[in-house]
Chains A and B, each alone.
Chain A
Amino acid sequence: MSDGDDLWALVWGFLGISLLSVGGGVAALPEMHRLMVENQGWMDDLAFSKRYALAQAAPGPNVMVVGLFGWHVAGITGMFAAMLAMCGPTSILAYAFCRLRGHLQGAIAMRVFERGMVPIAVGLIAASGLLLAQGAAFGTGGAPLAIAISIGSTLFVWRSRFSPLWVLGAGALLGATFFQ
């Protein structure tokens, strides 16, 4: 496959994902995993989890990870192409919807719809986390420690109000010390 083909596959892939991503960028991660790892074979499980980790180490919307996947496939061009495909059309959609909404005042209908959709979005986010944990567990280091870090981090983020940065730092420290 030539580079150009990869770039188009990248753009079409993320365009499709963006139009279906209910509940934000992270909820679409399982579908990105399907595109990057299963369908196109651009990266393996561990590389996928590592790119996600790299995105988490930087500030910004979670969707920025798409830029890193794009970079992995086609360098900086891939980064911009993937980000534009992911954010461009949906932004236009949001803008158009906003214009229309001036007339619609279906606040109650909207709330009912939202209440039905939000659990799906949250479920998809949880599924993303599980896929990422699986990817991290099959690294070069030991799976038990990786799983322990993931569980510890889950509990920390769930039960405490401290910044998640602490968990990332602790994970980095434990990884650097104990993984070989």
Chain B
Amino acid sequence: MAKEGEAEAPIPGKIELFLGYVKIGLLGFGGVGPWSRHVIVEERKWLSERDYAEVLGLGQILPGPNVGNASVMIGRRFHGLAGSLIATAGLYIGPLCILIALSILYELYGTRPGVAPFMQGVAAAAAGMVIGTAIKMGQNLRPPPELIVVGLLAVAGAAFLRLPLPLIVVVLAPLGVFLSLRRSWKRAA
């Protein structure tokens, strides 16, 4: 990992950091993941592709929303605790305002005859969007066959058997890490 504060990378000021994250939050239709990378790596060049992937990877294995975790870590990198707070606030403030407005509208008009079918159509499409994203992610990651099985077990456990999440994680996490470890040994041998 690159040391903190390497020479070439421009360090964003606090206002820049906030505005960058406001932009990420407001652009993020269907999730902020892709936009977060676009703004931080390509547009503003705050982090290199590698550094960003590392931060996001950490955000993913820590509990909680991963882009939210990444905002805490990236904010901290530039401005310490204040940076974490600024980046996280920026990320959530725009979407939160929009959601409050949407909720009020939904409460007022959600039960109207025309709205229910409309929302059902969006709900069906949004469901497909989640499944499609999962397939795409799985494809891009190219996991070895035994880890694909672990992934499919997670699908079966959560969607069909309806097992509680703690149980799924407690059973599958050691299995997944063990299989991954075995791969590394094989490669080393």
Answer yes or no: are A and B bound together in one complex.
yes
Q: Give residues in A with beta carbon < 8 Å to B.
A: 17-26, 28-31, 34, 38, 46, 49-50, 52-64, 67-68, 71, 76, 79, 83, 86-87, 89-91, 93-95, 97-98, 101, 105, 107-108, 110, 112-133, 135-137, 139-141, 145-147, 149-158, 163-165, 167-168, 170-176, 178-180
B141 touches A118 (CB 8 A): yes
B9 CB within 8 Å of chain A: no
Return chain B residues, CB-CB under 8 Å to A21. Answer: 63-65, 165
Return chain A residues, CB-CB under 8 Å to B64. Answer: 18-19, 21, 86-87, 89-91, 93-94
Extra 16 A-B pairs, beta carbons < 8 Å, given A22-B169, A126-B131: A22-B63, A22-B173, A34-B165, A46-B120, A49-B127, A59-B26, A94-B62, A114-B57, A119-B151, A119-B176, A120-B169, A123-B152, A124-B168, A129-B130, A139-B120, A179-B121
B69 touches A90 (CB 8 A): yes
Q: Give residues in B with beta carbon < 8 Å to A.
A: 1, 25-32, 57-69, 72-73, 76, 81, 84, 88, 91-92, 94-96, 98-100, 102-103, 106, 114, 116-138, 141, 143, 147-148, 150-155, 157-159, 162, 164-166, 168-169, 172-173, 175-181, 183-184
B61 touches A17 (CB 8 A): no
Most buried by B among A119, A140, A149: A119
Q: Knowing A119-B143, A120-B154, A126-B134 touch, does A133 contact B62 (C-beta < 8 A)?
A: no
Complex: chain A residue closest to B73, CB-CB: A98
Q: Knowing A59-B95, A120-B173 touch, does A164 contact B72 (C-beta < 8 A)?
A: no
Q: Knowing A20-B165, A132-B123, A150-B124 touch, does A91 contact B88 (C-beta < 8 A)?
A: yes
Complex: chain A residue closest to B125, CB-CB: A171
CA distance A8 to B63 in the complex (A): 21
A120 touches B27 (CB 8 A): no
Q: Knowing A30-B165, A95-B81 touch, does A149 contact B125 (C-beta < 8 A)?
A: yes
Interface of A is mostly: helix
B72 touches A118 (CB 8 A): no
A54 to chain B, nearest CB (A): 6
CA distance A42 to B128 in the complex (A): 24
Can you sample 18 A-B contacts with CB below 8 Å?
Answer: A46-B123, A60-B95, A61-B67, A63-B68, A87-B64, A101-B58, A116-B176, A117-B173, A118-B60, A126-B131, A129-B129, A129-B130, A132-B130, A133-B124, A135-B127, A157-B133, A168-B126, A171-B126
